Structure 1
Amino acid sequence: MAKPTPLSGFPELLPAARAVEREVISSLSRTFELHGFANIETRVVEPLERLAKGGEIDKEIYVLRRLQAPDDAESADETGSERQLGLHFDLTVPFARYVLENAGHLEFPFRRFQIQPAWRGERPQEGRYRQFTQADVDIVGKDALPFHHDVEVMRVMVRALGSLPLPPLSFQVNNRKLIQGFYRGLGIPDVTAAIRQIDKLDKLPPETVAELLVEHAGATPEQADRCLELATIRVSDPTLVQRVQALGVVDELLSRGLAELASVLEGCADAVKASDGRVSVEANLRIARGLDYYTGTVVEIYMEGYERLKAVGGGGRYDALADDGRTTYPGVGVSFGISRTLLPLLADGVLEGSRAVPSVVLVALADEESRPAAEMLADRLRSRDIAAEVAASPQKYGRQIRYAERRGIPFVWFPATEHGESDQVKDIRSGEQVDADAATWGPAEEDLRPGMVVSTSSTDEPGSIDERQEA
C-alpha cells in the first residue's frame, strides 16, 4: 500500500500532543461540573434544512449521504432516514434542536456543557481547520432567563480558562442593548445594519467603516463619527458608565445595556483575580458579533501573542434561538475553540506533553520465564491506579532502561531475585534507585499521568522555550 496523502484541515495529534488536549478537556470539564453544568453529547449530523439557514456558513457545510442512496425523495422511509443530512459546523445549532426535542425531560434553567468535534469546509489555515474540537457552556431558560445567568456563564468560563497554562487570555465584552440603544438614540435609520458594519472594524480601517455606515445604515457622517467614538471605548473598571454617558446620547435600551455590561465586569472580578493574570475581562464597545440572534451580552476571547488567530472563543445572550411556536427558550453561553487554541501552541512548542505514554512504570524482565510474575507485579501497581507495563523482551537491563527513556516512562521496576533481595525502582531521570514494595510505593502526583509542559520563557518569541515546568 502506498503512503497515504494527508488530508488538509483534518489534524491528527501524536500521543504526547493528544495528552495535552485530553488534559485541557479534563480541566474544563472539572470546572464546568463544579459549577453544576451537566455534560451532553449531541449527534454529529442534522437535517440540512436545519443547518442551512441562508447564512454565510451554508457553503461550508459537509453533506452526508450513503454512497448508494436513492436520489428520489419517494424512496425515503417514514422516518425520513434518507433526508439530506449535514455534519454540524458548531455546537449551538444541535444544542437548540436538543432542547426542543427533550424539553419535557429537562429541568429549566438547564445548565449544560458540551465538548465535541465540529466540521466546516473552509480553507485550512493556522487556527482554522475542517475538523476541530470546541467546548461550549450554556444556560437555557423557559420563556425567561434572568440576567444574572449572563454574569454566571462569563464567570464560569473565566474560571475554566484561568485554570489552564495558556498565554494570557482577554475577554472582550460588550452588550447589544447598549450599542442598539446608542444607535437608536442617535437616530440611525437601520440599527441592525449599523451593528454589522461596526463588526468589521477588526478587518477594515475606521474611515472605511464610517463610509459603510453611511451607505448601508443610512447614518449621516456626523452619526457615523459618533458610532466610531463609542467603538473606541475600552475599559475594565467602573469608569465605563461615566465614559459612555459623557457621549451625551440618551435612550432607555442604552441605559439597560450599560448597566448589564457593568454588572458583567463587576461579577467577573473575583474570577479574574483568582486567575493570577492568566485572564482579563474588559469592556470593548467595538465588539458586536455579527450574528443576529445575539440580544444582550456578547463576548470575544483573544490570546496574547496570537492575535493573528483572531478570536479563540466567543458567545453571548440569545433570547430566541430555540422556539417551538408555543414556548421560547432563551439562553446565554460561551464557546472556546480547543483546536483553534492548542494546535498553534503545540506547533510553536509553547505547550507539549510531558510524555507520550500513560505508563509510569516499566517492569523489567530478567528472562522470559519471569514474565508471569512481572505481569502480576504490574497488576498490583495498576490496582492502585499506577499505570504500568512489562518490558517487551528480557534484554540487558541497560537496554530496557533506554527503552523506557525512548517511551518517556519515568520509572523502571526491578523485581527481586530468588536470593531474597528487595524489589527496587529507579527514577531514570535522576538516576535514584531505592527499595520498593508494590503495595505501598507510589510516584509523585505529577508523574501519575501525562501532563502539559509549558514554556516559562520571558522572550517575545511565542514558541521559544528556555526551561519547562509541569502544569
Structure 2
Amino acid sequence: MAKPTPLSGFPEWLPAQRIVEQQILRIIQDTFELHGFAGIETRAVEPLDQLLRKGETSKEVYVLSRLQAGESDEQSKDKQLGLHFDLTVPFARYVLENAGHLSFPFKRYQIQKVWRGERPQDGRFREFYQADIDVVGAGELPFHFEVELPLVMAEAFARLKALGVPEFKILVNNRKVAEGFYRGLGLDDIEGVLRNIDKLDKIGPENVAKLLIDEVGATAQQAQLCLDLAGICGTDESVISRVRELTSAHGIEHELLEVGLTELGALLASAAVRAPGRIEANLKIARGLDYYTGSVYESVLVGHEDLGSICSGGRYDELASDGKNTYPGVGLSIGVSRLVSRLLSKGIVTASRSVPTAVLVAVLDEEHRAASDAIAAQLRARGIPTDVAPTAAKFGKQIKFADRRGIPFVWFPAGVNQNGEEIAHQVKDIRSGEQVDGDPAVWMPTNSADLAPLVGSAI
C-alpha cells in the first residue's frame, strides 16, 4: 500500500501535541463548570434547510449521503442532512426540542467538533473543535448575562496563560450604540454601514468612506462621523465619554444610542474590576450583521493578531423561536483548534512527554511477566499511570524505551535481576539516575507533578 497523502484541513496531532490540546480543553471545561454552565452534546448532523437558512454558508456545508442507498426515498432523505458547521444552529434546535425539560435561563457549554468546507489556511480547518458557552432565556434575558459571559472567557484565558498561552484581549462593542448613532445621523441602511465599517482593517478608512458614500448614500460628513465612531476604543468608561462628546458636538441623538452606551458602560465598569486591562471597547467591531442585537465580542492573542479572532460571539434576541415562544440568548465560542495550531506551530506550548505513563515496570523475563503486571496493577489502583515493558529485553533497552517516551521512572521488580543478583523492588528516576527501594503499596513520586505530563512554555 502506498503511503497515504494527508488531507489538508483535517488536523491530526501527534501524541504529545494531543496532550497539549487535551489540557487546554480541560481548563476551558473546568472554567465553564465553575461558573455553573451545564455540558451538553448534540448530534453531528442537522437538516440542510436549517443549516442553509441564512444562505451565505451554502458552499461550506458537507452534505451526507449513503455510499450505497437502499430505497430511493431513503437516499433522498439522507441527502437532506449535513454536518453542522458551528454549534449555534444545533443548540437552537436543541432548545426548541427540549424547552419543556430545561430550566431558564439555561446556561450551557458545548465542546465538540464541527465541519466547514472552506479553504484551509493558517488557523483555519475543515474539521475543528469549538468550545461554546451560551445563556438562553424564555421570552426575555437580562442584560447582566452580556457582562458575565466575556468575564467567564477572560477567566478561561487567564488560566490558560499559566500554560504559556500569550496575553489576550477581548474586544467588545454594542450594536445598539452603532445603530443608534447611524440612525441619529439620518442613515437607514444600518446593515450596509456595518458591512463597510467591518472592512476597515482590510481596506483602510479612505476606501471605507468611499463605500459608505457610494453604496449607503452617506454624505462625506456622515461617512467621516461613522469613521470617527469606529476609531474610538479603550479599556475604561472614558470610551463612553468620548462617544458623548462626539454626539454632542454634532447634535446626534437617538434613544437606542443611549441604551447602548449605558449597557457598554456597565460592561466596562465590571471588566475594570474583574478583568482589568483584558476587555477593551472597540467600536468598529460589527460581527453577525443580520442577527446580533446587543453586545458583540471578538478576541485576539496579543502578538498574534494575524491569526484573527480566536473567540467571538454576541447577543441575539432570537436564538430560537417556534412561532409562539422566543428564546433570546448570548454566547461566545472559542476556536480551540485555531488556538492550539498556533501554540504548536510556534512551539509556544509543549508537553513534557508523549504518553501519560509515569512508571514503566521492567520485565525480568517472559516467565515473570505476571509479576510485573501485578506491580503495575497495584500502582494503577493508587492513581499512578503505569505501563509494562513490551519485551523482556536487557534492562538498558527497557530504560531506553522509557526514555524515548519521556517516562520518568522505571520499576525493577523484586527477585533475581538479569545479572543473577537478589534485589528488592527498586525504582529508578532515569532523569537523575537516582535509584531507591520501593514498595508498590506505598511508593509515590517525590514530586507529584511527575504523575502526569507537564504542559507549558518551559518544558
> Above 0.5 in TM-score?
yes
Picking from 131, 138, 143, the partner of 1:142 is 138
SS in 1 for 2:236: coil
1:430 matched to 2:426: no
Identity %: 56
SS in 2 for 1:138: strand
Give deviations 1:178-223, integer Å, cap 9, x for gaps.
1111111111131221111111112111111111112222211101
SS in 1 for 2:293: strand
CA distance in structure 2 between the aligned counterparts of 1:161 and 1:271, rounded to whole angstroms: 13
Contact 1:199 1:290 in 2 (8 A): no
Cα-Cα RMSD: 1.7
Contact 1:23 1:451 in 2 (8 A): no
SS in 2 for 1:336: strand
Give deviations 1:287-334, integer Å, cap 9, x for gaps.
011431100000101112221111111001000121000000000010
Give deviations 1:13-51, integer Å, cap 9, x for gaps.
111000111111111111111111111111111111100
Contact 2:361 2:376 in 1 (8 A): yes
CA distance in structure 2 between the aligned counterparts of 1:5 and 1:362, rounded to whole angstroms: 35
Contact 1:158 1:271 in 2 (8 A): no
The one-letter code matched in structure 2 to 1:447 is D
- What does residue 88 of structure 1 align with? 84
The one-letter code matched in structure 2 to 1:65 is S
- What does residue 242 of structure 2 align with? 243
Contact 1:272 1:281 in 2 (8 A): yes
Give deviations 1:249-304, integer Å, cap 9, x for gaps.
3222111111111211222334425xxxxx71100011011431100000101112
Give deviations 1:332-382, integer Å, cap 9, x for gaps.
010000001111220121122221111110011222222111101100010
SS in 2 for 1:144: coil
Displacement of 1:83: 5.3
Contact 2:191 2:289 in 1 (8 A): no
SS in 2 for 1:208: helix
Compute the TM-score of the two structures, normalised by the length of structure 2: 0.94
Query: Relative to structure 1, is the Cα distance of residues 124 and 83 closer, same or farther in structure 2, using a 3 angstrom cutoff?
Result: closer
1:105 matched to 2:101: yes
The one-letter code matched in structure 2 to 1:115 is I
Give deviations 1:35-76, integer Å, cap 9, x for gaps.
11111111111111100124322111111111233796xx24
- What does residue 118 of structure 1 align with? 114
- What does residue 65 of structure 2 align with? 65
1:261 matched to 2:261: no
Contact 1:196 1:290 in 2 (8 A): no
Contact 2:87 2:132 in 1 (8 A): yes
Instruction: Give 1:436-451 correspondences, 5 Å limit.
Output: 436-443=438-445, 444-451=447-454
SS in 1 for 2:78: coil
- What does residue 360 of structure 1 align with? 358
CA distance in structure 1 between the aligned counterparts of 2:410 and 2:195, rounded to whole angstroms: 61
CA distance in structure 2 between the aligned counterparts of 1:450 and 1:333, rounded to whole angstroms: 33
CA distance in structure 2 between the aligned counterparts of 1:3 and 1:82, rounded to whole angstroms: 32
The one-letter code matched in structure 2 to 1:431 is G
Which stretch of the first structure deviates more once superposed, 319-328 or 423-432?
Answer: 423-432
- What does residue 458 of structure 1 align with? none
CA distance in structure 2 between the aligned counterparts of 1:134 and 1:240, rounded to whole angstroms: 32
CA distance in structure 1 between the aligned counterparts of 2:296 and 2:33, rounded to whole angstroms: 23
SS in 2 for 1:263: helix
- What does residue 313 of structure 2 align with? 315
CA distance in structure 2 between the aligned counterparts of 1:117 and 1:387, rounded to whole angstroms: 28
Contact 2:64 2:79 in 1 (8 A): no
Contact 1:19 1:451 in 2 (8 A): no
Compute the TM-score of the two structures, normalised by the length of structure 1: 0.91
Displacement of 1:89: 0.6
- What does residue 24 of structure 2 align with? 24
Displacement of 1:446: 2.0
SS in 2 for 1:404: helix
Instruction: Give 1:272-283 correspondences, 5 Å limit.
Output: 272-273=275-276, 280-283=278-281
- What does residue 465 of structure 1 align with? none
- What does residue 209 of structure 1 align with? 208
- What does residue 394 of structure 2 align with? 396
CA distance in structure 2 between the aligned counterparts of 1:69 and 1:146, rounded to whole angstroms: 49
1:177 matched to 2:176: yes
CA distance in structure 2 between the aligned counterparts of 1:242 and 1:272, rounded to whole angstroms: 21
Displacement of 1:431: 1.9
CA distance in structure 1 between the aligned counterparts of 2:385 and 2:282, rounded to whole angstroms: 48
Give deviations 1:391-411, integer Å, cap 9, x for gaps.
111222221111100111111
CA distance in structure 1 between the aligned counterparts of 2:253 and 2:437, rounded to whole angstroms: 77
Contact 2:234 2:282 in 1 (8 A): yes
Which stretch of the first structure deviates more once superposed, 411-420 or 358-367?
Answer: 411-420
- What does residue 348 of structure 2 align with? 350
SS in 2 for 1:42: coil
SS in 2 for 1:128: coil
The one-letter code matched in structure 1 to 2:123 is G
CA distance in structure 2 between the aligned counterparts of 1:291 and 1:360, rounded to whole angstroms: 51
- What does residue 457 of structure 1 align with? none
CA distance in structure 1 between the aligned counterparts of 2:97 and 2:58, rounded to whole angstroms: 23
CA distance in structure 1 between the aligned counterparts of 2:93 and 2:367, rounded to whole angstroms: 59
Show structure 1 runs of 5+ residues with no match.
Answer: 274-278, 455-467
CA distance in structure 2 between the aligned counterparts of 1:211 and 1:434, rounded to whole angstroms: 76
SS in 2 for 1:246: helix
Give deviations 1:63-112, integer Å, cap 9, x for gaps.
1111233796xx249xx953511111111111111111111111111110
- What does residue 39 of structure 2 align with? 39
Q: How many residues align?
A: 447
Displacement of 1:421: 4.3
CA distance in structure 2 between the aligned counterparts of 1:144 and 1:189, rounded to whole angstroms: 27
Query: Relative to structure 1, is the Cα distance of residues 293 and 54 closer, same or farther in structure 2, using a 3 angstrom cutoff?
Result: closer
